Structure 1
């Protein structure tokens, strides 16, 4: 009789534990989804880094560059959130602003083209605003739409070309921009052609895995986006999926031969509206002459 009662107790205890584990797992899954869908995508982080190099002129010490990337304005990223980003950028008081691609998720379906241009035009950067194409900017018949927005907003488009930023007559750095590697026609040679020797050169290239090609040329820093930091990462595992051409380099700093690469996690989301352990990012780089 006692053995029968103990068997019943053990079964009852086991079923209770099983039920408790199932409910706990379900709640954890629901909370994780809620956090990834509604909390982390709105948790903007601002990261600050110092970039030192002997070729950075002394006159550029203290100059601040701000990079933002991968907004993906559309169904999951609205104008109100974008207005907050513009406000935050201006509060950081950058000297130069660099956008590394993917402004609209589906350009030909987005109804507020002029409103986006108007918001971008509010960004203040006394030494210039520069932008490049991402794959979404070319996709959805977006090539002309994107150029229209950026030029109306006062950004200089860099498509396999560069611009020199001067502080004094013989004191300058170069900002070079490559066309998108997936849907554009990048030409690395044209991008850096005619940059004066011994000029500190920053390359904007949407896809980070292109750094291996960039490193064959006289460039010193590459700024990229595209990866979203994987959007969804798991502890000890990293990102579950990254887009093509961001599989090797997906977040933060890397050294690729002589080239320093930085991959920005971007602001928006694409495909799935989730971010987990990969919060949206603005990046501020402060230049410093290295003696």
Structure 2
């Protein structure tokens, strides 16, 4: 037994001596592969995320309603017309009843790409229309220019406003707050214009605003973007870099009691044009009335 323990210790000692020499070699071999994947593969590998969601106040007339969300397109030199066309074709292929876009159409100080936005986004198509809110990057470039690009293409930009979708006498309300980070939001104005009947969905670019919106007891669901899920995410670890107002609810579905929140991972990127374990996303919601439990991908 003693010899066995001594032999084990000797092997362990040799292994520990080897590890410091091995790590740099491993890094040299693996790092280029990871960078290749994070730059060339994952940013182009769009996930279609299908979610069945029950909204307690949704009228039966809206059962199986298909709502598609995209967010954070961040048009830039990287986000070319070819890429945009591909994204918008994927959205249309989901056969949405309604398309919502939750901000950051262009990146900071990249207003020269607004004409590209205006010339491509019109191909989005849904029978109940297209509804948007602006994000912080839109305000850091040219918010009025982005607004014009949207409205020219029949996309309704909700700036602290409410609109409605009808199925006979039944209503589904879509509300939108203008960007929270830059202080343009007026939730009180939204609440004052929100009727009491029917389900209500809030579009808010920054997901952490949910801690405020849930306290109003007015919304069944908040849809947000902003965080890109951190863009670079080590598995099982909170992303090391997350934006203000996107650190608490940075990706996916959250149940906040009276209200659910979904944070879309976005399509484009900021900073380094890299994504790792944070694939770009198109979210397809199938909305149901009644008491069925929510589920992802059922």
TM-score (norm 2): 0.88
Cα distance in 1 for partners of 2:249, 2:17 equals 46
Q: Choose 83-92 or 231-240, whichever is displaced more.
A: 231-240
Alpha-carbon contact 1:107-1:145 (below 8 Å) kept:
no
> What is the 5 A alignment of 1:45-124?
45-106=47-108, 108-111=110-113, 113-124=114-125
Cα deviations across residues 139-183 of structure 1 (Å, max 9, x unaligned)? 12x111110111011100101110011011x21110000010112
Give the match's secondary structure for 1:240: coil
Displacement of 1:106: 3.4
Do residues 223 (structure 1) and 213 (structure 2) align? no
Cα distance in 1 for partners of 2:19, 2:116 equals 55
Alpha-carbon contact 2:75-2:105 (below 8 Å) kept:
yes
Alpha-carbon contact 2:224-2:264 (below 8 Å) kept:
yes
Q: Which residue of 1 aligns with 2:195?
A: 196
> What is the 5 A alignment of 1:242-257?
242-257=242-257
Displacement of 1:282: 0.2
Alpha-carbon contact 2:74-2:268 (below 8 Å) kept:
yes
The gaps in structure 1 that reach 5 residues or longer are 1-12
Give the match's secondary structure for 1:191: helix
Q: Which residue of 1 aligns with 2:176?
A: 177
Q: Which residue of 1 aligns with 2:136?
A: 135
Cα distance in 2 for partners of 1:155, 1:110 equals 20
Cα distance in 2 for partners of 1:14, 1:160 equals 61
Distance 1:248 1:16, change over 3 A: closer
Q: CA RMSD in A?
A: 1.8
Displacement of 1:108: 4.8
Give the match's secondary structure for 1:223: strand
> What is the 5 A alignment of 1:153-164?
153-164=153-164
Alpha-carbon contact 1:107-1:146 (below 8 Å) kept:
no
Distance 1:68 1:239, change over 3 A: same
Q: Which residue of 2 aligns with 1:211?
A: 210
Which residue of the other structure, out of 39, 42, 45, is the alignment partner of 1:43? 45
Displacement of 1:287: 1.1
Q: Which residue of 2 aligns with 1:9?
A: none
Cα distance in 2 for partners of 1:20, 1:208 equals 42
Alpha-carbon contact 1:74-1:106 (below 8 Å) kept:
no
Cα deviations across residues 75-125 of structure 1 (Å, max 9, x unaligned)? 2221211110011111111010000000011355424x3332232111111
Cα distance in 2 for partners of 1:24, 1:108 equals 39
Displacement of 1:210: 0.3
Alpha-carbon contact 1:221-1:261 (below 8 Å) kept:
yes
Alpha-carbon contact 1:138-1:184 (below 8 Å) kept:
no
Q: Which residue of 2 aligns with 1:265?
A: 265
The gaps in structure 2 that reach 5 residues or longer are 1-14, 292-298
> What is the 5 A alignment of 1:225-240?
225-240=225-240
TM-score (norm 1): 0.90
Alpha-carbon contact 1:265-1:280 (below 8 Å) kept:
yes
Q: Choose 15-24 or 254-263, whichever is displaced more.
A: 15-24
